[in-house]
Structure 1
Amino acid sequence: MNISVVGLGVEGQQATIALLKREHRVYASDINRKIDLSILNQKKINTELLDLEIGSHNLDKIFKSEAVSVSPSLFDKDICKKIIEKNIFLSDVMTKHKNIKTIAVTGTNGKTTTSHMIYHILSNAGFKVVLGGNGGGGFSGYTELVLKANEEEYDFMVIEVCDMTLAFCDYVFDIDLVVATNIGYDHMDVHGSIEHYTEEIGEFIQNKTAILNKNDQNLLKITDKSNKTLLFDKYQEKLNLFGSFNLQNAEAARIACLELGIRENTIHNYLKSFKSVAGRTIKINYNGNEIVSGKTDNVDALKAVLEEDKFDIVIIGTPRKHETCRFNILDFVKEYNPDTLIIFPGLDDITYDYVQYMNKLGYNKDLMVIKEIKNIIKFIDTAKNKKIFIGGNGQSKITEITSKLF
């Protein structure tokens, strides 16, 4: 097929890769001349099938396509509305995925682990399950999920839904069941306020069954928005995972699977065998040190981990340059007051900005910048009988550091 991709952020680049590996001819465009194409450039792609345009959109090529994949950030723009009107929006051309029993997992934190828990239970119970979604969260994007779901027969589809793509996903997928893990202070530059974010979740759960966190005061405000609301607290059995926050994730997965008709004993058996998802919070014993590592890219996620224990050393990755809203992570780090704080370039190298911020906050303990992963490992090698946390932004780097500690 001749398929266009409009918008080349993370999702758009993932969509382009997904389409090219299936040998579709792709016209991909973005109006931003300075767009970062590092995801696309890291993959081996068939450039003979790719027509790439940066700085403008060729509307003639787009509207003559057999289908169009649109970046979620452009979903409310005129170009997307016209694509939908012309009946060439990808999910309206490929529609088989809309017939699969679909579970969406959204919220600020815990989405990936909860999605994987549900997938683990359902697939081990003998069902054919397709899992994917949020390209920024470690999956291969929504287009990859749509394509997969249209290629084979599945009993269930589990989607991780980024909180910035709620309206987009509500249109693309025919969602039966929503799990909302929590509502936290992330992406406030997009949502505008926690109240508006809460309203967006309320709109998302309309006409669906919703499983909401009873400990989240904002979610409790929208319990009347869904067709049926179930509340979850903490899982009462043991898990092979670090942190009480994972007990909430497990309980959400348990209730979701019960609602899908899975027996209680089956759910308990498979949650017992569930292991931490790569890049998410994991506990490691290394050279006499107790290390907890995991992506904690917003203040609520960081608090959830650090409040579990007192760490002597905190190692934090930096966000992207424009994500100044995530500097509030450092406000909590200052309050937490570890003996040693190490900053590394998680996504963009804004380590200097992080150091300046901590200095303004008056942090007067040991503060270091270590830019190379090999040097972070060397530092950890010199530590003796310490509790160390590795987190913040930069999932791929955190995962790489963790892999070298096993």
Structure 2
Amino acid sequence: MNISVVGLGVEGQQATIALLKRGHDVYSSDINRKIDLTLLNETEINKESLDLEIGSHNLDKIFKSDAVSVSPSLFEKDICKNIIEKNLFISDVMTKHKDIKTIAVTGTNGKTTTSHMIYHILSNAGYKVVLGGNGGGGFSGYTELLLKANEDEYDFMVIEVCDMTLAFCDYMFDIDLVVATNIGYDHMDVHGSIEHYTEEVGEFIKNKVAVLNTNDENLLKIVDKSKKTLLFDKYQHKLELFGSFNLQNAEAARVACIELGIIEKTIIKYLKTFKSVDGRTVKINYENNEIVIGKTDNVDALKAVLDEETFDIVIIGTPRKHETCRFNILDYIKKYSPNTLIIFPGLDDITYDYVQYLNKLGYNKDLMVIKEIKDIIRFIDENTNKRIFIGGNGQAKITEITSKLL
């Protein structure tokens, strides 16, 4: 097929890669002449079938395509509306996935773990399950999931849905059940306010079964928006995971799977064997140090971990340069006041900006910047009998550090 990809953010690049790997002829475009194409450039694929255009969209090529994959950030734009009107939107051309019983997991934190828990239970219970979604959460993007779901027969589809792509996913997939883990203060530059974010989730759960966190005051405001609402609290059985927040994730998975017809005994059996997802929070005993490590890329995620116990040393990865909304992580760290704070480049190297922000806050504890992973490991080796937390932004680097500590 001749397929166009409009917009080359992370999702657009992942869509391009997914389509090329399947032998499609692909026209991909983005109007931003400075778009970062690192993911596309570093992926080993045959690019002979790729027609790449940066700086403009060729509407003639797009509208002559057999199908078009649109980046989620463009979903509300006129170009996407025109693509939908011409019946070219990829989920309107490839539709087999809409016949699969579909579970969407969204929220500020806990999406990836909860999605994997549901997948783990269903697949071990003997069902054929396809899992994927949010390219920013460690999956390979929504287009990859759609393509995979259209290639085979599945009993269930589990989608991790980023909070910034709710309307997009509501159109692209035929969702039966939504799990909303929580509503927190992340991506406020996109949502505008926590109230508007709550309204967006309320729209997302309309005409669906919703599994909502009874501990979240914002989710409790929208319990009447869904076709049927089920509330979850904390899981009451044994888990091999760190943190009380994972008890909420497990209970969300339990309630969802019961609604899907899985007996409780089976759910408990397989949650007991569930292991932490790569890059998510784990506890490690290393060289007489107790280390908790995992991505905590917003203040609510960080607080959930740091509230579990007192850490002597906190090591935090920086976000992308434009994500100044995530600097509030540092406000909480100032209140937490570890003996030593170390900053490393998690995504973009804005360690200087982090130091400047902390100076403005009047932070007066030990503060270090360490740029290289090998030097972070060396620093840990030089300490003993310490409680250390490693997190913040930069899932790939946090996963690499984890692998070196295990």
TM-score clears 0.5: yes
Task: Give the AA of the match of 1:19.
Answer: L
CA distance in 1, matches of 2:37, 2:243: 36
Deviations, residues 70-90 of structure 1 (Å, cap 9, x unaligned): 000000000000000111100
Name the residue aligned to 1:369: 369
Query: So what's the TM-score if we normalise by structure 1?
Result: 1.00
Q: Distance in 1 between matches of 2:234 and 2:165?
A: 27
Tell me what 1:332 maps to: 332
SS at match of 1:206: coil
How far did residue 46 of structure 1 move? Answer: 1.1
**Could you report, residue by residue, the CA deviation over 1:100-154 in whole angstroms, capped at 9, with x for unpaired residues?**
0000000000000000000000000000000000000000000000000000000
Task: Give the alignment's TM-score, normalised by structure 2.
Answer: 1.00
Q: Secondary structure at the match of 1:221?
A: helix
Partner residue in 2 for 1:91: 91
Alignment partner, residue 300 of structure 1: 300
Which residue of structure 1 lines up, in the alignment, with residue 29 of structure 2?
29
1:118 counterpart residue number = 118
User: Partner residue of 2:316?
Assistant: 316
CA–CA separation in structure 1 for the residues paired with 2:382 and 2:49: 51
Q: Which ranges in structure 1 are unaligned for 5 or more consecutive residues?
A: none
Shift of 1:91: 0.4
Counterpart of 2:322 in 1: which secondary structure? coil
Equivalent residue, structure 2, for 1:353: 353
Superposed, 1:171-190 pairs within 5 Å as 171-190=171-190
Partner residue of 1:214? 214
Structure 2: which amino acid aligns with 1:392? G
Q: Deviations over 1:151-209 (max 9, x none)?
A: 00000000000000000000000000000000000000000000000000000000000
Match in the other structure for 2:225: 225
Report the counterpart of residue 145 of structure 2 in structure 1. 145
CA distance in 2, matches of 1:96, 1:271: 30
Aligned to 1:263: 263
Q: Deviations over 1:2-44 (max 9, x none)?
A: 0000000000000000000001000000000000001111101
* Aligned twin of 2:50: 50
Alignment of 1:98-117 (within 5 A): 98-117=98-117
Q: Which amino acid aligns with 2:267?
A: I
In structure 2, give the amino acid aligned to 1:222: I
**1:347-381 deviation per Cα after TM superposition (whole angstroms, max 9, x unaligned):** 00000000111111111111000000000000000
* Structure 2: gaps (5+ residues): none
1:133 is aligned with what amino acid? Answer: G
What is the CA–CA distance in structure 2 between the aligned matches of 1:65 and 1:46, rounded to whole Å? 20
Structure 2 distance, partners of 1:348, 1:35, is 15
Q: Secondary structure at the match of 2:405?
A: coil
Amino acid in structure 2 at the alignment position of 1:68:
V
Question: CA-to-partner distance for each residue in 1:310-334, whole Å, 9 max, x for gaps?
Answer: 0000000000000000000000000
Q: Which residue of 2 aligns with 1:288?
A: 288
Work out the CA distance in 2 between the residues paired with 1:332 and 1:239.
Answer: 28
Q: Which amino acid aligns with 1:184?
A: G
Output the amino acid matched with 2:191: H
Instruction: For residue 230 of structure 2, give the secondary structure of its aligned residue in structure 1.
Output: strand
Note the aligned Cα RMSD (angstroms): 0.4
- DSSP 3-state at the match of 1:136: helix
The answer to whether the aligner puts 1:248 opposite 2:240 as a matched pair is: no
Per-residue CA distance 1:372-394 (angstroms, 9 max, x = gap)? 00000000000110000000000
Mapped to 1, the partners of 2:218 and 2:373 lie a distance apart of 39
Q: What is the total number of aligned residue pairs between the two structures?
A: 406
Distance (Å, rounded) in 1 between the aligned partners of 2:224 and 2:87: 34
Partner of 2:70: 70
Q: CA deviation at 1:238?
A: 1.3
Q: Secondary structure at the match of 1:217?
A: coil
- Mapped partners of 1:200, 1:381: distance in 2: 46
SS at match of 1:28: strand
Runs of 4 or more above 3 Å deviation? none
Aligned partner of 1:41: which letter? N
Task: Please name the residue that 1:403 is paired with.
Answer: 403
* 1:47, distance to aligned residue in structure 2 (A): 1.4
The amino acid of 1:345's aligned partner reads P
* Separation in structure 2 between the aligned mates of residue 23 and residue 313 of structure 1, nearest angstrom: 49
The Cα shift of 1:270 comes to: 0.1
Query: Secondary structure at 2:224's aligned position in 1?
Result: coil
Q: Separation in 1 of the partners of 2:398 and 2:279?
A: 7
Structure 2 counterpart of 1:197: 197
Is 2:12 the counterpart of 1:12?
yes
Cα distance in structure 2, aligned partners of 1:311 and 1:403: 21
Q: Distance in 1 between matches of 2:382 and 2:15?
A: 44
